[in-house]
Each structure stands twice: as C-alpha cells, then as structure tokens.
Amino acid sequence: MEFSNYKNANNTDNIRKNIKIKDRLILSLDVPNRTEALEVLKKADNRISTIKVGLELIYNEGLGIVDLVKKSGYKVMLDAKLMDIPNTIAGAVRGISNLDASIITLHTFGGSSMIRTANDALALLSQQKNKNKPLFFGVTVLTSLDDNDLESFGFNIKYMDLVLNMAKIGIESGIDGIVCSPNEVGLLRKNLGKNFLIATPGIRLTEERTADQKRINTPEKAIRDGADFIIVGRSIIKSGDIKNTIELFLGKIESEVLNDKNC
C-alpha cells in the first residue's frame, strides 16, 4: 500500500480499498538496540509491511535506525509523539521529512494550531521533494492511563469523552489518523464517521496478561469496531516464535475484515 495525503472521505475510502491484510498489522519494534532490532526484523520475514519505531529505540540507537528498518524492506511508522509550540514543531518536521517515514505521530494535546502547522509544513516539504506526504496520526490518551489517572491530573472528564474530544480536534485540524485504544474505536466511528484512519495499540490476545497497558482489547474487537490498523509489540516480540505469531494476528485480522462492513 502506498500511503498518501488525503482531504476527504473519498480519498480515505481509496486508501482503505488498497490496504492489504499485511498492512493492517503494524509491529512495534519495542527493543533497546540495533542488534535486537535486526533480529526481530529478520524473524518477521517481511510478513507485514510497516514497523513502528518509537522513543526507546530512537534514543538508544539514534534516528539511523529508521534507515535500517527501511533497508530491511519495511515502511516506517515514526512514533515521535510530537508536542510543542507550533514553531518548534515546524522545525522538527523539517528534519523528520528527511527520514521518509510513512506515518508520523504527534499528540493531539498540542492543539489545533500545532497540528495544522505540522501538517502544512510537511505538505509543503513533501511537495518540494515531489513525494507523497506521510500520514500524521494523532495520539489521544495513552493506553496506560484510565479514569483514575485523569482524575489525579485534575481532569473532570472520563477518558472516553476526552479521547472523543481530542480526536475531534485532530480531525477538524486536518489530521490523517487517530491513535486510540481499541475500546474507543467504536465510539469514534459512531460520532466522527469514517473520514479518518484509526490505529490501535493496546492489542492483546485473549489469553495474554495486560502488562502496563490498562485500556486493552483483542485484535478482532478493534477491527470489528472500525480500526484500520492494529499496533502490536511485545505480544509478538516476546512470543518465542515471531513469524508464526504474526501469522496468528494476521489470521484474526483477515477473518474480521472479510466479515465486517466497517472495513
């Protein structure tokens, strides 16, 4: 699948029509160093198309890890979680544009002006380089947080409502996709429609322990409710058989895609 910028529901539909099953599972490369990263990439055997590179690996190995992933035959979801004043984010985007990532994340808590500035800056840079603009996905509320955490922060709102509010701000500001837990996917589709993509971390098989994420659910539930991509890290990497576990997840995704009108 070729990711590209879009501005309306028809283009979103075109993206969805071109999403293959292997595109829908994004492997989060939750390892601390280059050696372990290479091992995981090799064992994954290009059964999926996109690898999420996050803060742990970036700060341990540097941004050169992005090129390593691409040279291994994968697209990159750069989980930068950008959030700062608009001018600073515009400067960061100029650097990030050189990495040729397919998806970049930012925090919707940065606000509408930040999101628009980032999107406009990246669109201009991509146009100048005659390349498709990477997709911007907005993180709403981290899956490690729940209502108790929000209350301790001073929020007088439940996480479901906060996720909805942040997603709405992101979509109205021109963002391409939303990152939320699988438990909020149905809510977002019901209230905000289909003119945006959804990627969901916090995915676990029924028999798994939850670890440090509180708002979790199964891959079947996420896809059934309207998620376009599911993001899985440790459940695959720590499984002992990376390739077969990837196939297990892909099988569950495919079963739901074939039977779910949301897809």
DSSP 8-state class, residue 140: -
Radius of gyration of the chain, Cα coordinates, nearest whole angstrom = 17
Q: Which two tokens stand for residue 98?
A: 């050189």
Q: Which two tokens stand for residue 80?
A: 């930068």
* Nearest-10 Cα torsion for 170, 173, 176, 182: 10
Q: List the catalytic residue out of 43, 81, 168, 194.
A: 81
Q: Which two tokens stand for residue 47?
A: 């059964």
Residues 126, 134: contact at Cβ < 8 Å? yes
Residues 62, 34: contact at Cβ < 8 Å? no
Residue 81 appears among annotated catalytic residues = yes
Residues 51, 229: contact at Cβ < 8 Å? no
Which class for 77: exposed (0-12), middle (13-18), buried (19 or more C-beta within 10 A)?
buried
Segment (H or E) for 107 = strand 103-107
β-bridge pairing 177-179 and 197-200 = parallel
Q: Following DSSP, what letter does each residue of 207-224 receive, concatenated? A: TS--TT-SS-B-HHHHHH
Rounded CA separation 23/10 (Å): 20
Q: List the catalytic residues.
A: 81
